[in-house]
Each structure stands twice: as C-alpha cells, then as structure tokens.
Amino acid sequence: MIESGSNPLIPGLEGGTLLTPPETTGRFIVVFAEGAEAPAGILRDAAGLPDVVTSRDLRTDEVTEETAQTTDTVFEELGMAVVSADPEQLGALQTSTKARGSVLSVSPELIHHVRADDYVRGYADGVGDLSRRLGVSGGPVPPAGQASGVSPQFFQDNPDLTWGIQATRADGSSFTGQGIAVAVLDTGFDAAHPDFGGRSVTMQSFIPGESAQDGHGHGTHCIGTACGPKSPTTGPRYGVAHEADIFVGKVLSNGGSGSDGGILAGIDWAVGSGCAIISMSLGADVPREHPPYTVAGQRALDRGSLIIAAAGNNAMRTQLDFGFVGAPANSPFIVAVGALNQQLDVAFFSARTLAEAKGGQVDVAGPGYQVYSSWPMPTRYRAISGTSMATPHVAGLAALWAEATGFRGRELWSVLTQESRRLLAPSLDVGSGLVFAP
C-alpha cells in the first residue's frame, strides 16, 4: 500500500503524495499500549526523562508557548506522550525491559501547516487534467482500480476463485466467520446442496404454507456468496464466510414475493437467535424511508445485529437513469449496498443514493455483476447479477470482521466503512467503496 519513495524514517507517510519531505520538530511522539500503567514513570525509568508532566497538570497550570514547546508531556486520555529525547533514550524506550510491552511506537513529531500552497497545487492539477483531456500530454488518468490501490483492473473468475472473492480479498483472509451467526432473509435454501454438508444450518419459514426449502433459487445463491464453502465440491470458491453459522429465514415465497410482516418476523427471529449479521437482498422501489425498517434497524443494532440490504436495481445508467435506493435499504440504520462490475465500476442497474430520505444513501459497494454462486439442485451453480449479489458479499465480509474484531452493531458498521477501499466512482453510488476482508 505504501508507494515507493516513502521516507523510511517516518513510517506510514506515503512519500509519493508529498512534494517535499515532511518537516519535523525534533521531538517524538510515544504511543503507549492500551492499559499501560504510569506512562510518566515508564518515560522516567526506561528513558531517563525526569521532568515529565501530564496533560492534567498543564490544564491547571498556565500553558505558555515555551512550556508547550519544551516540556515532555503525557496525554493520559490518548495514551501518548510528546518528548524531547536523544537517540539513545529513544532506543531505550523501544528495547528496555522496563518499557517492554508498554510502548507501541516512537515516531517524529511533524509540523503541520495550513495548506497555503493548495491553490497553486490545485491549479497545476487542473492544468494537467485539462492537458490530458485535450490530448496535449500523455499523462494517463489512472483508472479506478489503480487509484484506489486495487489491482488488477479487470477481475475474472478463475478455476480457484470467483472474481468477487478476489476483489474483496476474502481469499487472503485468515478469518472464516467461525462462531458468527449470519442470517440470510430470502427465498430459503436448498438444504440438499452438496456444498453445505456438515455446516451448521438453521432454517425457518415465515411464508405461510411453504417450507424453508428454496423454490426460487435467489436465497440459495445469496447464502452461497455470504457463507459458501472454502472448497466446493467442484469449481471455484464463491463463498466468503465459509465457517459461519447459517440462519436461513424464508421471508420471500417461492414466487419471489413477501411483505413487511414476514420480513420483520424474520428480522425478529434473527435478532433473537443472536445473528451478528442479517443479510437482506430484497426491497421495494419506494422513494422514501419506510418507518418500520428505521425502527427495526435501530433496535437490531441495539441488540448487536447489523442489517445489510440491497440498494436496489432500479437504475438504467446506460439511459442516464440513476434510480434510487428503495426500502428497506434507504432506512438510516440499515447498510445499503451498491453493485460493482469486474472493473470496479458501478453496475449499470445499481441504484443511486436517495437524497430525499435521511439514510437514503448507498453506504458501501460489493461485487454484483455476473456473480457465480450456488443454485438449487440439480442446477448446482449459476452466475447472475444484482445488488442482491453484492449484499451477501458484504454480509460475509462483515462476518469476518465480526470474528476479527469482536465488534457488533454500530461498531461493526463503522469498521466496515472505515476499512473499505475508496473508489473513483461517486460516493452517491458506492458510498465508502469496496468492502475488504480483514
């Protein structure tokens, strides 16, 4: 991720983005481990810094320009300190037995400026961009994937992995979703599918007169993407959270339809079953927030369940119709997922943020074009497109994050967006970008 040219003395700074090396103050920032006891004592005993004050002292005393510049200060709420130290003392902080386990990092204090040169830089960028557009100079505009650090530019299914598993880096994750319950509320599941032998699967139908067996296909496809196996009986890996516990809530009939009553009952059941993630590849093209889903999303979050829903397929971008996020995804407490194609561009059908509704935005994006996954037997596998297919990618990835961090509810939502990879596509269409595996 760090481009070549990084200054080795200042880890974490991407040298390629700065015209000049960053200015430093000569002082250093010490970051203490969480729960490290008596940071001031560590600085004194390990590094021989005698006059360390805490930020609490500074708050009560008069802070002068001079004390702020020269005093070694511990910020207790942050678990950090700013110190003047020579190389020997710095070395001792990182190696001394007294400091062992208590000091996470020591790095130079940087000088930050008001960006007075932004106008000039912006002008230069503008001229450069115009030149490229007019074909005056050959500087290529970086394609979406490259600018976002994602490569290659065009993902393809290969014999081992679907393109979605590659693009989200699920294949490189050491997390599996083990111990995480994922509910998929859809058309049910083909319990006889050979790829799910030995898995923990709990099935419940909320459709009167129909069992949870999938008579449509959509549900089996979504469950495959979210929770399918690491090594299917044949063909490439298509599932993200391959050891998650699967909760199948049938809320859409074999004919593919269902109403709020069954969907809310399914959410209630999933929350009560302790599902950390509730994946809903369903919706209605209603251009306003539907209040029951606002409440349900909020109360589910309160109970530690994150609802992830499809933004909708009502766009026809080839005709400049961008559509809108429908219900339930347009509720503020439900994650709305847009669909990407293999070039990480917005899929032509993927709905755009509904500006009129609070919470009507697309929150994140996932692979949703020509997605290969499980289908009821005897068909076994099928590739289809839709925000319905992007949603279970994100649900499976959320299960990996839940396992990796222990986060639930709002914290889990936060880490998903925080760790998603920004794309060049408008945030109106992809939100925080492509969700990555931990």
Partner 1 sequence: VSRDGEDGPRVPGEPNGEEEVPGELGADDGDGADGSSESLSPVTITVDDEHRAALGQVVEGLRQRGMQVDAVLEGLGMVTGRARDAAALWQVEGVSGVDSQIVHRLPPPDAEIQ
- How far is the CA of 136 from the CAs of 52, 126, 131, 147, 398, in angstroms? 59, 13, 5, 22, 45
Per-residue HEC secondary structure of 8-38 comes to CCCCCCCHHHCCCCCCEEEEEEEEECCCCCC
Query: Does residue 291 bind partner 1 (CB under 8 A)?
Result: yes
Nearest distance in Å: CB 326, partner 1: 9
Element of type H or E holding 302: helix 291-302
x/- letters, 297..316, toward partner 1 (CB under 8 A):
-xxx--x---------x---
Bridge-based pairing state of the strands 277-280 and 181-186: parallel
Select the span of 8-16, 43-51, 355-363, 386-394 touching partner 1 (CB under 8 A). Answer: 386-394
Q: Which residue from 223, 241, 389, 437 is in contact with partner 1, where contact means CB under 8 A?
A: 389
Query: Does residue 392 bind partner 1 (CB under 8 A)?
Result: no
Nearest distance in Å: CB 412, partner 1: 18
Select the span of 65-73, 197-205, 233-241, 379-387 touching partner 1 (CB under 8 A). Answer: 379-387
Query: Does residue 248 bind partner 1 (CB under 8 A)?
Result: no
> Which parts of 132-151 interact with partner 1 (CB under 8 A)?
none
Nearest distance in Å: CB 95, partner 1: 53
Query: Does residue 188 bind partner 1 (CB under 8 A)?
Result: no
Positions annotated as catalytic residues are 186, 218, 388
How far apart are the C-alpha atoms of 344 and 297, rounded to whole Å? Answer: 28
Q: Which residues pair with 237 in a beta bridge?
A: 161
How far apart are the C-alpha atoms of 401 and 411, rounded to whole Å? Answer: 10
Question: Does residue 328 have a cis peptide bond before it, meaning omega lies within 30 degrees of 0?
Answer: yes
Q: Which residue from 42, 263, 362, 402 is in contact with partner 1, where contact means CB under 8 A?
A: 263
Nearer Cβ to partner 1 (228/258): 258
Query: Does residue 272 bind partner 1 (CB under 8 A)?
Result: yes
The three-class DSSP label of residue 321 is strand
Half-sphere exposure of 344 (CA within 13 A, CB side): 28
Q: Which of 257, 214, 10, 216 is nearest to 111 (CA)?
A: 10
Nearest distance in Å: CB 429, partner 1: 16
Q: Which residue from 38, 295, 355, 377 is in contact with partner 1, where contact means CB under 8 A?
A: 295
Query: Does residue 349 bind partner 1 (CB under 8 A)?
Result: yes
Bridge-based pairing state of the strands 245-250 and 201-205: parallel
Q: Which residue from 47, 170, 212, 282 is in contact with partner 1, where contact means CB under 8 A?
A: 282
Task: Give the torsion sign (CA, 400, 401, 402, 404).
Answer: positive
Query: Does residue 284 bind partner 1 (CB under 8 A)?
Result: yes
Nearest distance in Å: CB 283, partner 1: 6
Query: Does residue 419 bind partner 1 (CB under 8 A)?
Result: no
Q: Which residue from 187, 204, 225, 279 is in contact with partner 1, where contact means CB under 8 A?
A: 187
Cβ partners under 8 Å of residue 340, min gap 6: 167, 346, 347, 350, 365, 366, 367, 368, 369, 390, 423, 425, 430, 434
Question: Does residue 378 have a cis peptide bond before it, meaning omega lies within 30 degrees of 0?
Answer: yes
> Which parts of 211-230 interact with partner 1 (CB under 8 A)?
216-218, 221
The phi, psi pair for 245, rounded to 5°, reads -80, 130
> Amino acid identity, residue 303?
R
Nearer Cβ to partner 1 (108/386): 386
How far apart are the C-alpha atoms of 140 and 229, rounded to whole Å? Answer: 41
Q: Which residue from 33, 80, 201, 286 is in contact with partner 1, where contact means CB under 8 A?
A: 286
List interacting residues with partner 1 (CB under 8 A): 187, 216-218, 221, 252, 256-261, 263-265, 267-269, 271-272, 281-284, 286, 290-292, 294-296, 298-300, 303, 313, 327, 349, 384-386, 388-389
